[in-house]
Amino acid sequence: MAQSEKELGINQYIKGPGHLIAGRDVIKQLDIHIQGQESSIDHNNPNAIDCPFCGKKTLATSVLCRKCYSPVKDHFDEQLEEHRQAELKRFREKSEIIFACSISLVGFVFAVFAFFRFDGLMELVGVGFAITVCLIGILKLLLHYVIRALVNRFTR
C-alpha cells in the first residue's frame, strides 16, 4: 500500500519541520553550511559578470544567478547557439556563391577550349554545353540573391 505524505513525514508547506527545500534555497543553505555565510562574488574574478536578468554580480560559469536564481548558463548557451546558427548560415551562403561562380568559370573555360579545339558539329555541341553550364551557374547565383532579398523583405 502506498503511504501518504503525512505518514512519511513530508510537509508540503513552506514553514515547519520536514518541509522540502526548493533548489534555490539549497544553494543558500550549502553556502551558509560550508562558509558560515552566503557567498559573495570576487569582483576581480575574470568569470564575474553582471546577471543578464537582475544586473547583480554572478559567475559566468554558474548555472543559476546567486541573487535572482535565473538560468544564467541557459541564457548564454542560447546566445552561443544563435551565434553558431548565424555563422553556419553565412558559411552556407558563401559556399553557394562560390559553387555558382565555380560552375560559371568551368563553363566559360570549357567554351573557350571547345571553340579553339574542336571543328564543325563538335565545336557547336561543346560551346553549347559550356555556355549552358555557364548560364546555370549565373542563374543559380542570381536566384540566390533574389530569393535572399525576397526572404529578407518579407521577414522584416
C-alpha pair distances (Å), 5 with each of 11, 12, 18, 113, 155: 7, 9, 11, 87, 53
- Check residue 3 and give its pLDDT: 58
> Is pTM, for the whole model, over 0.75?
no
| Pairwise CA distance, residues 43 & 143, whole Å | 53
- Report the chain (156 residues): mean pLDDT per 10 consecutive residues: 55 50 53 55 79 85 80 88 92 84 81 80 80 83 82 80
Round to whole Å and give the CA distance between 66 and 41: 9
Closest CA to 23 of 64, 54, 58, 56: 64
Which pLDDT score, from 0 to 100, does residue 154 have? Answer: 84
Whole-number pLDDT of residue 86: 92
C-alpha cell recorded at residue 80:
552561443
Report the pLDDT value the prediction gives residue 83, as an integer from 0 to 100: 93
Q: Give residue 144's Cα distance to chain centre.
A: 23
